[in-house]
Every structure is written in C-alpha cells, then in structure tokens.
Amino acid sequence: MAAGIAWWRVAHSRSTSDRVMTLPSAVTSEPELDWSWQAPGDVEDAVAEGESTYVLTSGSLFALDDSGDELWDVEVEGAEYLSVAELRTDLLWLSGSDGGGSLRSTEDGEEVLAIDGELETVLEGQAIVSDDDELSSINLDSGDVEWTTEGGESIAVDGGSVFILADDQLRRLALDGEEQWTADAELALGDYPYMTTADGFVVVNGEDTAIAFDGQDGEELWSVDTGDDGGSAGLMFPDQVYIQKNDFSFEDDTEDTKVVIYDRDGRVASFDPGTSFFYAFPVRSEGDVYAFDFGEGILYDEEFEALGRSHDGSVQPVDGGLYELSEGEVSFFRNDESSAAWTLDDEFGDDAQLGAAEDRLLIADGSDLLSYR
C-alpha cells in the first residue's frame, strides 16, 4: 500500500468550482536538475506557486525564485505545515500540529492575519475560522470580525455556503453569516463526525450512520447503516460520494473492503478496491475527470475501473500520471501504464519527500531542496 500523499500533499493544487482538483502539469521525460538549495536545517515543508517556491524550516520561512535564489526570508514560530491559500494565491498559510497559525504575504512574508483557532478556508475577502465553540468570519483587509456564530463538531465550507454539524443538527449559513436552514441529524455522532459535500447534497457521517441532506433546503434524502465500526465517506466524483465501512482490525486475513457509491437519489454502484483503506477525490487529468485514490495511487474512471497499478511508495498526482518515491528512487508513471516512463538516476535518503509544480518536480532530502525540469 502506498504511503499516501507526501509532505507537499496536494494542498497547492486547485479545487475548481466544479469540485474537480486541477493538477500541475507532469514532467513526462526524464528531467535534469534545474537548481538546488540548502536550508539552515531540515526542510519541514515546501510549496510552489508559479515560478516561486516557498520553504518552511524550523523557525524560518524562505521564498526562492525560478533559479533557486533567495528572494526573502522571515522568522516564524511554531509552524510545521505550509500551503497556498486556495482562492488567494498571494497568501501563504502556516500552521502547527497544536492548531493556530498565520496568513502571510507571498510578496515579503509579512504576517497578514494571525489565527488562534483552525482555518476552515480562505475566500477572496474573508477567512472562515473556528475556535473553541465559535465560528467566525474575519475580513482579510481590516482584520475585523464580520460575524460570529455557534460552531460544531464538523464544519464544511462549500462555494457560497457554510455547513455546521452540532448537537444532532445540521445548519447551513450564507457567507454573510445568515442562517438559511436547520435540519435534524439524529444519529450517534461518535468522536469524529464529519461531512462530505457534493453537487446538490451533503452527507453527514456519524458513529454508525451516514445521512444525506438536500443542500438547498435541508430535506433528508437517504440514510445508510455503516456498522458498529462506522464508515468513512468522501467525494468520488462531483455529484457522487463514496462510503466505506471501517475495519480497524488490520489483520492480514481482513477481507477486502467494498466501496459503495451514492448520488443524491441513493445507491449507484459498489466496487472492490482490494484494500482496507480507500481515500479518493476527483481530479482532472488529460482533460477527463477521474477519482484518484491517494492511498494506492490509482485512478478510477466513471465506470469505477482502475487505471494503472497500486504503488508502494509515496505518490504525487500530476496531470497525465503520478510521481512515486520508493526506496530512494523517484519515477514517473503515466495514467494507464504499470511500468515507469522514467526513473531518476539520483538516489535519495529514507526521509526524502517529493512534490509537484508546473512542469517541474521538487524533492526535499534533509536540508537539500532540489528542483528538476
């Protein structure tokens, strides 16, 4: 089983208005080293936006140009993760494992907004933030709180709406804080309830039940018993969700898990991914929409047929294929092929991690950051 999304994850990939993740273009022929940069200590995280690369180390944030030369650096505290804000690519989000963080300008690294709680999303002019039992909208220009409402166990921001799950109720708010509807979600929420939003409906996933609600008026559409161990739910295609029953035994003889697909009208199909853990999201690759299983590095078409093969290492999806880092080697696999199109001659350390940018490949190996084209 693949190790899943590496240190860059896909936080910098764009999820467009049609709910499909736009992936960076692939390096389809064997690349050569473009530049290398050495950090003062290990690279904690990094992300590329355009021709610039932003690098987080212990205590510092750096910006590099398209030649790997430093543009600026600032001191930061407590940051472990780095990403580019989805709708505000002029802002970087730095966060720590204990919560909280800051939005910083890509121009000079200066702090735009300090956030004590959890950043739910960044929109054009506002940041949606949850803290303790409250959910707030903060104006990015002034830093003023625009509105505050009661928070919940799970929050999802989707287009022009905010969905809040709390106390067996699901609420929908507009981005100005106005409540649009409230629906009863009478299910055992358990310790980790969450929501999945799709075109036209919302799925609330609790301890042993998943319930779908109409996104416009909150009417209950259908419910599913997910068993004693509960189930995980996610977005398979823009108008379809998947539900997989959890199996926490992780024994070698565990039966393969069935994944069941639903749309707003109910069950559509089921298939067997051949693994006890399935985590997918819709991506656009070579002009077509697929579901990409981040755990195994496999694309599924709209008939739920798998393209390519499972991967053993860390994977990074790109348009037309994926990069794999396994046992110190980095390779590129085209979407529907089982053999690598190319493998780098360079060997990397056990803790090396990979990432993708437009037409280039990024690798962090200890204190070294390397860009290949």
pLDDT tens digit sequence for 200-251: 999 998 878 889 999 999 999 999 888 766 678 899 999 999 998 765 444 4
**Nearest CA to 277 among 249, 301, 302?**
249
* Cα atoms in the 13 Å half-sphere on the side-chain side of 80: 6
Q: Is the pLDDT of residue 189 over 70?
A: no
Q: Is the pLDDT of residue 13 over 50?
A: no
Spatial CB neighbours of 181, under 8 Å, sequence gap ≥ 6: 171, 172, 217, 218
Determine the pLDDT at residue 73. 98
State the residue for tokens 């047929």.
305
Q: Is the pLDDT of residue 313 over 60?
A: yes
Q: Indicate the pLDDT class of residue 50, thresholds 50, 70 and 90.
A: confident
Determine the pLDDT at residue 254. 46
Return the higher-pLDDT residue of 167 and 119. Answer: 119
Q: What is the value of pTM for the model shown? A: 0.89
Q: How many CB atoms lie within 10 A of CB 274?
A: 13
Q: Are strands 161-166 and 118-122 parallel, antiparallel or unpaired?
A: unpaired
Q: Helix or strand or coil: residue 52?
A: strand
Residues 40-50: what's their mean pLDDT? 92
Report the share of the chain in percent with pLDDT over 70: 90
Determine the pLDDT at residue 341. 97
3-state helix, strand, coil in the chain (%, to 5): 0, 55, 45
- Render pLDDT for 238-283 as a digit per residue (tens, 0 to 9): 999 999 876 544 444 445 568 999 999 999 999 988 877 889 999 9
Q: Is the pLDDT of residue 94 over 90?
A: yes
Determine the pLDDT at residue 181. 97
Residues 54-69: what's their mean pLDDT? 96
Burial-class residue 285 by CB neighbours within 10 Å (0-12, 13-18, 19+). Answer: buried
Q: What does pLDDT average to over the chain?
A: 88
Residues 144-171: what's their mean pLDDT? 91
Spatial CB neighbours of 236, under 8 Å, sequence gap ≥ 6: 242, 261, 280, 282, 291, 300
Q: Is the pLDDT of residue 124 over 60?
A: yes
CA gap 369, 163 in Å, rounded:
39
Spatial CB neighbours of 340, under 8 Å, sequence gap ≥ 6: 324, 331, 332, 333
Question: At residue 30, what is the residue type?
Answer: E
Determine the pLDDT at residue 252. 45
Determine the pLDDT at residue 257. 63
Q: Is the pLDDT of residue 346 over 90?
A: yes
Determine the pLDDT at residue 17. 53
Query: Which residues, listed in sequence order, are joined to residue 243 by a DSSP beta bridge?
Result: 233, 260
> Residue 151 is encoded by which pair of tokens?
């928070």
CA gap 135, 117 in Å, rounded:
9
Q: Is the pLDDT of residue 12 over 90?
A: no
Q: Is the pLDDT of residue 5 over 70?
A: no
